[in-house]
């Protein structure tokens, strides 16, 4: 809602991350679709929120480019996982129950995607995926929107989240299953974010790097939260771990999620200057 009521606050935050070295900034639209917004009786603002969020992010980039005219900066329209899941029942006594249908999820995402595209996003980022069926509904909505409009499709980035040491998503998929389930979307990148800090994410990033035929992204939290929900990992610590991903040739795009401040991004950007991006595997047709 701040994108509508206090856009200067959000623009200033975007600008801090741009100044820190971010090349891609996400719109402030995580879960800004009518299903999640219904919890606050704000579902009718979904379209307006997404349009305002892109406008604010674009304004921050335009402001930055006045001082750095040769810079390449991009707006990623953030499409979050939703607060309802298609794969799991919220009723422990009725495992077959679902709180929402596939069509309802897809329709909500369609409205969000339409607003993000029409207002000028450069990328669509389906992120923090804990239920691949929800993500499939988002991808379906993307495909339907571009089929309906016959517009040029924006690049799609996909990022899942591994929730514990088992190496599975919350809905139970292994990382390989998640990758195979999402590759029909033909994303420019697939990766992991949130839930874990970089150190805990390490084996999963390595596994994904060995699986993926496209670019691999990783934007972890600044470690795991403490008892008060705060993040204690320093920018230098986060950057060193993420840097090791690049040193091993596992990643093409990196960044930060929960707890990562502009100093974290600045440290990561500095560390990345030492390394080359992951080399995509050569595909052989058989």
Q: Evaluate whether 70 touches 27 at the Cβ level (below 8 Å).
A: no
DSSP string covering 135-151, please? HHHHHHHHHHHHHHH-P
Q: Look at residue 266 and tell me if it is in a domain.
A: yes
- Give the C-alpha separation, 139 to 145, whole Å: 10
Let me know if residue 166 belongs to a domain. Answer: yes
Its domain, for residue 198, covers 75-273
- Whole-number percent of the chain with pLDDT over 70: 99
pLDDT at position 284 is 61
The per-residue pLDDT for 165 is 79
- Taking residues 203-229, report their average pLDDT: 96
Are 48 and 96 spatial neighbours (Cβ–Cβ below 8 Å)?
no
Domain count, the chain: 1
Could you tell me the pLDDT band of residue 103, with boundaries at 50, 70 and 90? Answer: very high
Average pLDDT of 91-112?
A: 96
pLDDT of residue 55: 98
pLDDT computed for residue 166 by the predictor: 83
Q: In Å, how far from its chain's centre is CA 87?
A: 20
Mean pLDDT, residues 62-84 taken together: 97
Task: Say yes or no to pLDDT of 247 above 70.
Answer: yes
Binding residues, by number, are: 194, 257-258
User: Distance between CA 42 and CA 55 in Å, rounded?
Assistant: 20
Which of 169, 140, 157 lies closest to 218, judged by CA?
A: 157
**Would residue 26 count as lying in a domain?**
no
Average pLDDT for the chain: 96
Residue 209 in domain: yes
Under DSSP, is residue 41 helix (H, G, I), strand (E, B) or coil?
coil
CA-closest candidate to residue 22, choices 66, 64, 53, 55: 64
Q: Detail the residues annotated as belonging to a binding site for Zn(2+).
A: 194, 257-258
How far apart are the C-alpha atoms of 37 and 108, rounded to whole Å?
A: 10
Q: What is the CATH number of the domain that holds 192?
A: 3.20.20.330
- Taking the model in full, what pTM does it have? 0.95
* Residue 195 zone, left/alpha/beta (φ > 0; ψ -120 to 50; rest): left
pLDDT at 281 over 90: no
At 105-141, the pLDDT tens digits run 999 999 999 999 999 999 999 999 999 999 999 999 9
Is 31 within the bounds of a domain? no
Give the phi and the psi of residue 85 in degrees, each rounded to 5.
-120, 140
Return the structure tokens found at 250.
Answer: 């596992």
Can you give the pLDDT at residue 164? 82
Residue 143 lies in a domain: yes
Distance CA 5, CA 7 (A): 6
Q: State the distance between the two ends of the chain, measured CA to CA, in whole angstroms.
A: 51
Q: What is the pLDDT of residues 132-166, one digit of tens each?
A: 999 999 999 999 999 999 999 999 999 999 988 78
- 283, pLDDT greater than 70: no
Q: Is residue 38 part of a domain?
A: no
Give yes or no for residue 187 having a pLDDT over 80: yes
For residue 168, what is the DSSP state?
A: B
Question: Residue 251 falls within a domain, yes or no?
Answer: yes
Give the per-residue pLDDT at 16: 98
């Amino acid at each position: 809602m701040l994108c509508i009521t206090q856009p200067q606050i959000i623009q200033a935050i975007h600008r801090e991350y741009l100044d820190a070295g971010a090349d891609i900034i996400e719109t402030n639209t995580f879960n800004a679709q009518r299903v999640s917004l219904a919890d606050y009786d704000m579902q009718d603002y979904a379209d307006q929120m997404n349009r305002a969020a892109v406008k604010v992010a674009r304004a921050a980039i335009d402001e930055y480019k006045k001082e750095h005219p040769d810079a390449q900066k991009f707006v990623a329209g953030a499409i979050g996982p939703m607060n309802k899941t298609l794969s799991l029942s919220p009723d422990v006594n009725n495992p077959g129950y679902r709180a929402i249908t596939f069509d309802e999820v897809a329709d909500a995402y369609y409205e969000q995607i339409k607003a993000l595209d029409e207002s000028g996003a450069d990328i669509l980022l389906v992120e923090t995926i804990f239920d691949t069926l929800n993500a499939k509904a988002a991808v379906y909505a993307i495909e339907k929107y571009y089929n309906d409009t016959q517009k040029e499709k924006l690049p799609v980035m996909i990022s899942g989240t591994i929730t514990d040491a088992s190496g599975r998503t919350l809905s139970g998929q292994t990382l390989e299953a998640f990758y195979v389930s999402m590759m029909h979307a033909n994303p420019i990148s697939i990766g992991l974010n949130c839930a874990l800090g970089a150190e805990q994410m390490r084996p999963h990033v390595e596994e994904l790097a060995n699986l993926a035929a496209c670019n691999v992204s990783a934007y972890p939290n600044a470690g795991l939260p403490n008892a008060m929900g705060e993040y204690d990992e320093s920018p230098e610590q986060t950057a060193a771990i993420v840097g090791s991903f690049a040193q091993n040739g596992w990643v093409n795009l990196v960044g930060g999620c929960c707890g990562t401040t502009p100093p974290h991004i600045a440290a990561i950007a500095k560390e990345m200057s030492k390394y080359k991006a992951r080399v995509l595997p050569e595909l052989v047709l058989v």
